[in-house]
A and B are shown apart, each in its own frame.
Chain A
Amino acid sequence: MRYGTTIMDDIGNEHPRRNLRLAERGALEERLESEPKEKAAQIKGELKSLPRKEHDYEKKFAKVRAEEKAFLAKASERKTTFEGSLADSDPTIRKWKLEAMESRARAEFYAPHADLSYDFELLAEQHRMIAEQLPAIADTRRETLDALDAAKADLEAAKKEDHSQANADFRRLRKERLKQRGEEKAALRKLYKSGQISSKAYVNEKHQKDLAAAEDIRSMKQSLKINMLADRVRYLKHRLKQDKKQGIAVLNSDISDLRRKTPIEVTKRCPWISYLTFPLPGLGQLLLGQTFKSIFFFIGSLYIYLIAIPYALGRGNYRGQGLFGLVSLAEGASRLDRSVIFMIEGVIAIILLLIAFLIYYNSFRDVNRNEKKMISGIRLNNWFETKTAAKHKGFPYFASSPSALVTLFIVLLPIAVTVLISFTNYDPTHQSKFNWIGLANYKQIILGQGIAGGPFWLITGWTLIWTLFATSLAIFVGFVLALLVNQDRVYGKRFFRTIYLLPWAVPAFITIMFFSIMFSPNGPLTALLQQLTGQVINIKESPWGTRIVLILLQGWLGSSYVFLLCTGILQSIPKDLYEAANIDGATGFQQTRHITIPILLFQTAPLMIGQYTFNFNNFSIIYLFNGGGPFEPSKYGNLAGSSDLLISYIYKLTIQKQFQGIGAAITMIVSLVLIFFTWIGFSRSKSFREEKL
């Protein structure tokens, strides 16, 4: 980068360079670019011959710096002379006044040198501001302090007085007010009893009267002399704190405006600090003078070098070997060192390293950007500015980081582990130690081979049939019920709605388990079926019997929710649609066909799709009704039953039968399909397309 003759401040204004040496260099460099090539050699010669330390400007600058040093060294001397002239006893006011006096002295010192460097100009202006504003803040504080002292004295004096008269007055007034409230309420009751106001209005009005009386009594209490005085003391204390905070904040933001308008000149041309310090986040910020900020990045460094990297290398693990555990999978380790532990710890190591990388990247970018800013002439943020910016810009990160961490470790970590397990031979014979086997599990499933993969397609078929029929039945029943109940002429709507809500309101596991009992060999429904048909029908022993009962049961369970949804939508259809249809001579059937059903379908469609995915994963009903049975070893082998869905099959494989590898592979397939379908649903939904992401 070349120097140029001007520099840019944060607002975008150009300023001429005040460092004359750099300005000369900049001018020459500009000429080098703009003028014809023949002159290049000559200009380069001039550039080389430019003096550095011997430059007049540099000499002058160094002299001022020396004066400055001497001036600053005398600060404590000045302080003692100032202190003598201070009369106030409040430490904060003393501190401010001292600071203001010192600032006045500094402003006077720097002002004559402002033309020499923007730094001096900034210091002069900044100290002038402090010298102007701090005394004013101090004076306000003095006034408030005096008022506070007076209020405290008043309060003490009032405490010694006799308050029995005032208290008695208050009690009397309160009694009167309560009596008045009683009368008002009695009047209300009369109105209610005579039927002039409704019960709801009665309750509301009563509540209003209570509130009004409480409010009045509170204000009476507040107007007691002693309470008023105590309030004033409290208020003044609050003012004291607020004024201090606000005064300093205003001063700080004025200084910050100044910093934005005053450029900075540096001799450096390349952001080398960021490149050199990136291995240690925090160091770069420290070198650039942002001390407080650097502390936060140093904490990041501590995390990287004390937690993330040692963990990834295997230190401080529970049993595993950090990242290497993912490769070795505990091979050759002791019996207690199970492969799955090594795998999980490997994934944890990856997550920790990812966070570490994020810290590296952010720190590097921060330093790099700030260095480039300085080179172009912009002053860096001081701590006040950083804090203000972080409060707004940093808030969303700060607010969502706990959720992000929990999601990372509780949701994403298990998903990642499942993905990895699906590529291993984690099965009953390899419970403690397993190996990577690539896509073999997927191959087994797709080809329907082996004990675990064999029934996959059969189960998939039944899962699809189940999802389609069970959900459609529930939707159909719920739909029809909603249409029937919400007819104009049907009475007892409330009764029907409450009853139809029950299957949804009773926890599903209870109803499912109870139906399971009723269909057991000596259960009531089995007996009933026997009476009706004259034959012994054991539902739970017959595959299709179980399947049909399951579908009916889900229709029973799921219709409630559909019914509720449809009822809600039916009630919100504007009545004038029907009136218009009536006037046009449409029959009731036509109205239902052309108004009600299209609106219902359109509005419930996304929710109904949700019902299909819900049933696809409806583990409870299958597992709790018949445990996925009955078993049909000839078709399904020993692991699955004939009513098992993919999800209950996964559960059995993973939790009960220890075929975790194949279970994970099936999980992956199922999840990918589900994600695909829900994604399509999402991307088509209105809210997604219109979302101002």
Chain B
Amino acid sequence: MSKNKEKGLYLSDRPPLTPVKAVLLTISYILLFFYVFIIVWPLAQIVFSSFNGNQGEYIHVGGAYQFSLKHFKYLFQETYFLNWVINTIVIAVATALLTLLFVSFTGYAYSRYRFKGRKASLMAIMLIQTIPAFVGIAAYYTMHSIISAVIPGFTRQMFLILIYAGGGIAGNTFILKGYIDSISSELDDAARIDGCGNLQVYRLIIMPIVRPMLAIIALWSFIGPFLDYLMPSILLSDPKQYTLATGLYTLITDVRNMHQPVFAAGGLLTAIPIIILFIALQKQLVSGLASGAVKG
């Protein structure tokens, strides 16, 4: 600041920095870095302990550190980790695709068509959306045994996919409907005059415009199964069928299976792709959440 005065010019468009402000700024930096430490320390522990070969079944911090990949080796050789990854990805992809399929149709129909029962069913959708997913837990298990008696090849994982996708219909329909509402219907009127049918209007006109929102819906439906513990823990009983959340949990609760550093290794491998996804797409993800709440 003094330099600026010597030059006789103050070129910044901000007001000059006063001593009080300098102190406040320093405090801000201290707080910010303190919180950086609070966030990074535990996460760093996961990374360190997953590579620390000097641990057995329990995690130690502060002891001797010896770099080793033995926990990762154990993870791939002695646990069903690969099965869990594949299960989770299959469930997540199927959920995302199924949700997109359902929601594309309903969102388009509710936004662009005026039909009998529309208002009532929209109300119903809003109500259903507010009912928490855990309400049905008492019935799911028995429901699955009934369905699989009728359709023999119907596995628990398929049921899980249906529950995820079905549970997402109501909320996502509302989000997509709101988004399509914001697109002027002159475009589809023009397409209709040119001879497009209902589905063509959706495929050629609406879908390209709502693609960002569809991507967000797909993304959230895809991430959901990675983060959920409750549903798979109710439905899946065979460790080979587990998803990542239920599978990794066995590594820290099951006494026979207890290997905390291996859990850290598995957690690290699970977290890295998701972190990359979140950091790369943070804007889209946040706007998806926000539109869900605001439009809802």
A interface residues (Cβ-Cβ under 8 A, vs B): 318, 338, 340-341, 344-345, 391-393, 395-397, 399-400, 402-404, 406-407, 409-415, 417-418, 421, 426, 477, 480-481, 484-485, 487-490, 496, 498-511, 513-518, 522-524, 527, 556, 561, 564-565, 568, 582, 588, 606-607, 610, 617, 619-620, 623-624, 647, 650-651, 654-655, 660, 663-664, 667, 670-671, 674-675, 678-679, 682, 685, 687, 693
Contact = CB atoms under 8 A, between A and B. Distances in A.
A685 B60 contact: no
Given A556-B38, A675-B131, A490 B25 contact: yes
Contacts of A502: 39-40, 43, 275
Contact of B290 (A505, A556, A565, A624): A565
B58 interface: yes
B296 A685 contact: yes
Contacts of B170: 407, 411
A415 B136 CA distance: 5
A546 B13 CA distance: 50
A678 B275 CA distance: 31
A344 B134 contact: no
A505 B135 contact: no
Per CB-CB distance, the 9 closest pairs between chain A and chain B, nearest first, are A414-B136, A524-B61, A505-B278, A410-B166, A396-B109, A510-B267, A417-B139, A399-B105, A414-B139
B263 A395 contact: no
B142 A344 contact: yes
Contact of A417 (B61, B119, B136): B136
Contacts of A397: 115
Nearest to A502: B39
B106 A399 contact: yes
Given A318-B149, A514-B267, A414 B135 contact: yes
A415 B140 CA distance: 10
Contacts of B126: 682
Given A396-B115, A499-B39, 6 more contacts: A318-B150, A395-B109, A509-B227, A524-B45, A564-B286, A565-B286
Contacts of A588: 21
Given A487-B25, A506-B43, A517-B59, A344 B146 contact: yes
B138 A421 contact: yes
A426 B135 CA distance: 16
Given A506-B274, A506-B275, A693-B119, A617 B29 contact: no
18 contacts: A391-B197, A391-B198, A393-B115, A403-B173, A406-B102, A411-B169, A414-B140, A426-B138, A487-B25, A487-B28, A513-B249, A514-B46, A515-B42, A517-B263, A518-B45, A568-B290, A655-B137, A667-B134
A176 B271 CA distance: 50
B53 interface: no
B59 A513 contact: no
Interface residues of B, number: 98
B294 A687 contact: yes
A248 B135 CA distance: 54
Question: How would you classify the secondary structure of chain B's contact residues: helix, strand, loop or mixed?
Answer: helix
A517 B252 contact: yes
Interface in B33-50: 35-36, 38-40, 42-43, 45-46
A418 B290 CA distance: 31
B118 interface: yes
Contacts of A417: 136, 138-139, 143
Given A499-B39, A619-B134, A507 B293 contact: no
Nearest to B266: A510
B270 interface: yes
A606 B267 CA distance: 33
B128 interface: yes
B208 interface: no
B58 to A, nearest CB: 6
Interface in B146-164: 146, 149-150, 162-163
From B110, B167, B290, residue with most partner A Cβ within 10 Å: B290
Give the most central of B40, B102, B234: most A CB within 10 Å.
B102
Nearest to B119: A693
Given A344-B146, A411-B136, A511 B282 contact: no
Contacts of A481: 32, 35
A413 B108 contact: no
Contacts of A607: 289-290, 293-294
Contacts of B145: 341
Contacts of B127: 675, 679
Interface string B117-134: 011011000111011101
Interface string B237-267: 0000000110011001000000010011001
Contacts of B130: 674-675, 678-679, 682
Query: Which of B36, B61, B103, B134 is most buried by chain A, counting CB atoms within 10 A of its CB?
Result: B134
Contacts of B143: 344, 413-414, 417
Given A399-B105, A607-B293, A522 B58 contact: yes
Interface string B55-67: 0001111100000
Interface string B202-237: 000000000000000000000000110110011000
B138 A693 contact: no
B271 A693 contact: no
Nearest to A675: B130
B146 A418 contact: no
B17 interface: yes
B220 to A, nearest CB: 13
- Residue among A402, A414, A516 having the largest count of chain B Cβ atoms under 10 Å: A414
B15 interface: yes
B296 to A, nearest CB: 7
A624 B229 contact: yes
Nearest to A564: B286
